[in-house]
């Protein structure tokens, strides 16, 4: 089984600890992980800001980087969603049917981390130990683009020492939305404030999610108000012992 890690541009540049945790976790579970050096970004930021054509070379690069692997694992629901739901359509729209076919094949082999653990490896208990009170935000694209359902929660429920508390209005968007955060700062800030209120209401020490982008937004807000709540990626919790 040849497994590649698509680490995502944000994790690569800003949150390497999430990539390292994913590698640690997968290796512990007996998976030999490869990190293709030519990978960069899924292009979602370009597509969702209205520059789909600009993303086309990124799609091509992505397909090339991950050709020949049996599985591609992504520690991000949003980036996995872009690969699965945008790449083929972008290539098709640009009239590149060959790329569209290749992108479709890559998409079919791409898994968000919790999907890979449960659906490919068939593991619910990864042997982690994390003695903290944790609340989980099931990010929109994991929930409504990938439909990961309760997979992350099933993984968290098996973590020793972890006290999982339910987040009120868990399925409501935290307000990040990529360039939405810069284009609509007022609405974004209002959504952030409401989400932080829900996180604080749980009394959790840690707010976890499967997307570093949403966590950067939420964590930035919690840091600004000195809430004392940390944001931690699902991979980091599952990798800790």
Partner 1 sequence: MTSVFLGIPTASPHTGRLHGERSFPDAARDGVGDAQLRRNLGAATATIRAKRAGVVAEVPDWDELRVAGAALKDDVLADLERYLVQFEEQFTARGGTVHWARDADEANAVVTALVQATGAREVVKVKSMATQEIGLNEALAAAGISAFETDLAELIVQLGDDLPSHILVPAIHRNRSEVREIFLRAMPGADPALSDDPRALAEAARTHLRRTFLAAQVAVSGANFGVAETGTLAVVESEGNGRMCLTLPRVLITVMGIEKLVPTWQDLEVFLQLLPRSSTGERMNPYTSTWTGVTPGDGPQEVHVVLLDNGRTATLADPLGRSALRCIRCSACLNVCPVYERAGGHAYGSVYPGPIGAVLSPQLTGPGFNSTLPFASTLCGACYDVCPVAIDLPSMLVHLREKAVDADPAGHAAERLALRAVAWTMRSPWRWTRALRGVRAGRLLARRGRIRALPFPLSRWTATRDLPAPPEQSFRDWWAER
Residues that bind partner 1 in the complex, under the rule CB under 8 A: 7, 9, 11-17, 19-20, 23, 35, 37-41, 43, 45-52, 54-55, 57-58, 61, 140-141, 143-145, 171-173, 175-192, 216-217, 219-221, 223-224
* First vs last C-alpha separation in the chain: 26
Q: Which of 73, 81, 82, 77 is nearest to 23 (CA)?
A: 73
Q: Helices (H) and strands (E) in the chain — how many of each?
A: 14, 8
Least CB distance to partner 1 at residue 64 (A): 11
Using DSSP, state whether 81 is helix, strand or coil: helix
Smaller CB distance to partner 1: residue 91 or 143? 143
- CA–CA distance, 68 with 47 (Å, rounded to integer): 26
Least CB distance to partner 1 at residue 100 (A): 16
Angle at 68 between CA 95 and CA 77, to 5 degrees: 75
- CA–CA distance, 85 with 110 (Å, rounded to integer): 11
Smaller CB distance to partner 1: residue 123 or 172? 172
Smaller CB distance to partner 1: residue 15 or 87? 15
Least CB distance to partner 1 at residue 124 (A): 26
Least CB distance to partner 1 at residue 125 (A): 27
Smaller CB distance to partner 1: residue 39 or 106? 39
């Amino acid at each position: 089984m040849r497994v590649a890690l698509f680490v995502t541009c944000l994790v690569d540049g800003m949150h390497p600890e999430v990539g390292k945790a994913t590698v640690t976790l997968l290796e512990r579970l007996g998976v030999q992980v490869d990190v293709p050096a030519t990978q960069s970004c899924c292009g979602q930021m370009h597509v969702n800001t209205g520059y789909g054509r600009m993303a086309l070379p990124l799609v091509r690069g992505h397909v090339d980087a991950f050709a020949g692997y049996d599985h591609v694992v992504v520690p991000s629901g949003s980036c996995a969603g872009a690969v699965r739901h945008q790449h083929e359509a972008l290539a098709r729209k640009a009239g590149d049917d060959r790329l569209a076919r290749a992108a479709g094949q890559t998409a079919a082999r791409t898994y968000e981390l919790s999907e890979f653990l449960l659906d490919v490896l068939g593991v619910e208990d990864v042997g982690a130990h994390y003695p903290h009170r944790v609340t989980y935000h099931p990010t929109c694209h994991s929930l409504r683009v990938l439909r990961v359902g309760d997979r992350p929660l099933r993984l968290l429920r098996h973590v020793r020492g972890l006290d999982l508390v339910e987040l009120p209005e868990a399925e409501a968007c935290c307000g990040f939305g990529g360039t939405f955060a810069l284009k609509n700062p007022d609405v974004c800030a209002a959504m952030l404030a409401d989400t932080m209120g829900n996180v604080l209401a749980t009394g959790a020490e840690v707010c976890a999610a499967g997307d570093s982008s949403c966590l950067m937004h939420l964590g930035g807000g919690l840091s600004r108000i000195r809430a004392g709540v940390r944001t931690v990626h699902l991979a980091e919790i599952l990798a800790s012992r």
